Each structure stands twice: as structure tokens, then as C-alpha cells.
């Protein structure tokens, strides 16, 4: 039985229009590198410059963020069912709170990069389980990127991958997901899957 769901934020619940490739170019980082991990390996002054770029671009994203189709309806339905709800994001606390407040998203637990180890580390899931008094197998992690799936699997949780424009059969890391959806616009299928677990 699933008793709680942990959602990624960007490209899962909201569209912030963040262009990670453009961020890497502005920072002078190689294409494809995970930005937070890459910044942590830089010399202090260079890391500080890159963090300023990241913060500015994330704030710009929060200011233009919109809810993705199905997100509001899904969250409302899950609340009616009495399920625990959390957000686990690699965004900062400030940016996350600004986004949630602007869009009226309410969940009981919000975990950001300022709270503890970030995805793909399993800490967000394990911490949520501890807060809720549930087992990882009673939780589903929902996200659009491999870090979400790897985080959930490492913790022992169920995982749901959103593929958006990519074909579900060609999306990286689809093998690790327990359920693959194109987006939360297909939330009735997610609700049915949750009820079956």
C-alpha cells in the first residue's frame, strides 16, 4: 500500500523554463555535467561565481513558473485520499518556497538542497519516511529525471518516471521505474496504479 508520494518539482509539477545547457555555458561547465556536483568541485572563487549564476537563473525560473497539466488535480485528489505528500528538489529553499507560494502548491514536507544530501542520494526519501512513520516500500517517488528514479530505488521506494516529449520506450533509466507516464496529465493512470499497490 502506498501511503505517501514524493514529487520532484521542475518538469514534474511545474515548468520553470530552466535551460540547464545555457546555465552550463554561462558557468563555463562542460555539457552534460550535473551542475551542483560540478560546482562543488570548483575552486572557491569560481564556485561562488557559478552559484550566483545558478541562484539568479533559478529565481528567474520561479518568477515565470507555471503548473504543469494535471499537477493541481492530482495533488488535490491525493490530499482527499489522505496520502502524505512531499516535494524533494535539488533547488534551493528560497527558490522552492517562492515557486510553491506563487503557484499555491501545498504539501506537508518540502526538502531542498539546503536540507540535506540531494538526489540521487536516498536521503530525501528516507527522511520523509522517518517524518511520516512509514516504510520506503510504502512511498512512491515521482520525477522526470534519472536522479529521481535512482534516489527512490536506492531508498527502496516505488518509482514513477515522467517522460514528457521523449518516447517512454526510449527514455533513459526507464528500466528502473515501476511506472512510466508521459506526464501528470495522465494522472488518472497514476491514481489507479497507486490504488493497486
Please tell me the class of the 4-16+66-196 domain. Answer: alpha beta
User: Which residue ranges does the chain devote to CATH 3.40.50.1000?
Assistant: 4-16+66-196
DSSP assignments along 11-40, one per residue:
TTTEE----HHHHHHHHTPPTT--HHHHHH
For residue 18, what pLDDT band results from cuts at 50, 70 and 90?
confident
For residue 165, what pLDDT band results from cuts at 50, 70 and 90?
confident
Segment 173-192 shows an average pLDDT of 89
**Alpha-carbon span 89 to 87, nearest angstrom:** 6
pLDDT in tens, 77-116: 999 999 999 999 999 999 999 999 999 999 999 999 999 9
**Alpha-carbon span 10 to 96, nearest angstrom:** 10
For residue 19, what pLDDT band results from cuts at 50, 70 and 90?
confident
Query: Which residue's entry shows cell 531508498?
Result: 155
- Prior bond to 120 cis, omega within 30? yes
Query: Coil, helix or strand for 65?
Result: coil
For residue 107, give the nearest of 189, 14, 18 by alpha carbon.
14
Amino acid at each position: 500500500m502506498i501511503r505517501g508520494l514524493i514529487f520532484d518539482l521542475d518538469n514534474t509539477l511545474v515548468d520553470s523554463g530552466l535551460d540547464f545547457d545555457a546555465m552550463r555555458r554561462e558557468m563555463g561547465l562542460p555539457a552534460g555535467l550535473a551542475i551542483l556536483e560540478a560546482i562543488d568541485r570548483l575552486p572557491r572563487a569560481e564556485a561562488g561565481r557559478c552559484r550566483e549564476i545558478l541562484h539568479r537563473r533559478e529565481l528567474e525560473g520561479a518568477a515565470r513558473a507555471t503548473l504543469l497539466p494535471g499537477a493541481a488535480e492530482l495533488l488535490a485528489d491525493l490530499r482527499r485520499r489522505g496520502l502524505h505528500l512531499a516535494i524533494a528538489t535539488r533547488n534551493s529553499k528560497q527558490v522552492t518556497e517562492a515557486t510553491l507560494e506563487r503557484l499555491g502548491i501545498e504539501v506537508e514536507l518540502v526538502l531542498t538542497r539546503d536540507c540535506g544530501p540531494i538526489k540521487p542520494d536516498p536521503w530525501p526519501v528516507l527522511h520523509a519516511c522517518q517524518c511520516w512513520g512509514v516504510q520506503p516500500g510504502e512511498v512512491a517517488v515521482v520525477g522526470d529525471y534519472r536522479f529521481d528514479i535512482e534516489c527512490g530505488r536506492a531508498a527502496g521506494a516505488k518509482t514513477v518516471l515522467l517522460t514528457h516529449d521523449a518516447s517512454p520506450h526510449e527514455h533513459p533509466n526507464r528500466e528502473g521505474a515501476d511506472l512510466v507516464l508521459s506526464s501528470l496529465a495522465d494522472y488518472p493512470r497514476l491514481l489507479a496504479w497507486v490504488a493497486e499497490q
